[in-house]
Chain A
Amino acid sequence: MKFITEFRQSELAEGLISQIHRKSKTPVRFMEFCGGHTVTIFRYGIRQLLPETIEMVSGPGCPVCVTANADLDKAIALSRMPDIIITTFGDMIKVPGSYSSLQKAKADGADVRMVYSTMDALKIAEENHDKSVVFLGIGFETTAPTIAASVLQAEERGIKNYYVLSMHKLCPPVIRTLLDSGEVKLHGLICPGHVSTVIGSHPWEFIARDYGIPCVVSGFEPLDVLQCVAMLVEQVENGESKVEIAYRRGVRPEGNQEALKLIGQTFKPCPTEWRGIGNVPDSGLKLKNKYQSFDAELAFDIDPGPTYEPAGCICGDILRGVKTPADCNLFGKACTPENPVGPCMVSSEGSCSAYYLYGGNLEG
């Protein structure tokens, strides 16, 4: 397939691997922020192909994984209220909250429907006038404009029974929080590709400027990630720290201005809670007053009760990059993709899931 198979050619990968081995002298730790990159790295065995000088750590870039239990509990409580249809992307259904999951609520009779797109959720709202249709708005800057577009379409089409429970998260503020904590020392950051498709490469400049960390925006095919690592190595060995784009076919420095306009029109930044990281200022999105009739938090009196974290689960530490799934006592025993305890095992992009499926003999 065009723009996919071409970026999986093994002979071109060999060239990049050889260049990385030849040029990498300084011991470094690179973080791939995005769960999509984690999957590419594990699926294609990229960690095993890199020289010993390069250590890779996975970051918190999986929206399902970083959704706080309190927010999951809210969604589950909402699904149990009368005349509500919950519409959501598939990954959210199995994630356990403090007491239950959407899957269990559905088994108990809640109307929870998996959709591919907010367009499907709008259609369900049009077909069920007597019900309130709530879309669980999770996702980073990649997904937020599609939710913004759904609100604007609902307004345009006069759909009054469509609501969004906004649990969106923004990436640059949480990276600042991680770096300020000093818990994990990085020498390079693989910046998320499709988040950057929307926001561009400029929002990462503070990382190169203020923290001296090289940044390269990567695509999701194996050649993309290898090229990105080669560019990070080049910066490290030249003593540089700047923002570069390896994924030029998909990312422009200025991003997608139309998508940014729609986000700005419907949402405003707010503080939000990240699993394992805590409350991060201006890292969430809340519907603006003009669109508050679509805000599920305001429309419904949701009472999820107190929140609990699962005993023994270290997803929070894994999301901050300070521990790996191999450090977890539950991993592969009490916690598997079939019976997940924490979200990093549920989401197909979670670190635990990637380790479980492709980790093989990796120790850390």
Chain B
Amino acid sequence: MCLAIPALIKSIEDKEADVEIGGITRRISLWLTPEAKVGDYALVHTGYAINILDQEEGEETLRLLREIAKAEE
């Protein structure tokens, strides 16, 4: 029910955006994320962006997980 999918914002028009999710284009609402920009990854829940993903934090988490995997080898 609280499912939300990362989607790349391709274009923005007023309070709506076209996003790409796995090769499919969809229109979503930006009512909850007025800060959204083209090129951002929106977290899309029931047709609304509920947040903009922090790409740097995502990379940082992966870097940490690679470190753990290396240490546990």
Interface residues of B in 1-28 (CB under 8 A from A): 1-6, 8, 21-22
Q: Does A205 contact B (CB under 8 A)?
A: no
The reply to whether B53 and A250 form a contact with Cβ atoms under 8 Å apart is yes
Q: How many residues of B contact A (CB 8 A)?
A: 38
In the complex, what's the smallest C-beta–C-beta distance from B47 to chain A, in angstroms? 3
Question: Dominant SS at the B interface?
Answer: mixed
Residues of A within 8 A of B46 (CB): 89, 116-118, 143, 146
Question: Dominant SS at the A interface?
Answer: helix
User: With the chains together, A160 CA to B31 CA distance in Å?
Assistant: 20
The reply to whether A262 and B65 form a contact with Cβ atoms under 8 Å apart is no
Q: Does A81 contact B (CB under 8 A)?
A: no
In the complex, what's the smallest C-beta–C-beta distance from B37 to chain A, in angstroms? 15
Say yes or no: A142-B45 contact (C-beta < 8 A), given A34-B2, A35-B1: yes
Q: Which 5 A-B pairs have the closest CB atoms?
A: A117-B47, A15-B69, A249-B58, A18-B72, A248-B57
A residues near B (Cβ < 8 Å) are 1-4, 6-7, 11-12, 14-16, 18-19, 22, 34-36, 61-64, 89, 91, 116-120, 138-140, 142-143, 145-146, 149, 152-153, 192-195, 197-198, 220, 223, 227, 230, 246, 248-252, 256, 258-259, 262, 347, 349
A3-B53, A146-B31, A262-B32 are known; give 7 further A-B pairs, CB within 8 A: A15-B71, A15-B73, A36-B1, A195-B2, A248-B58, A250-B53, A347-B1
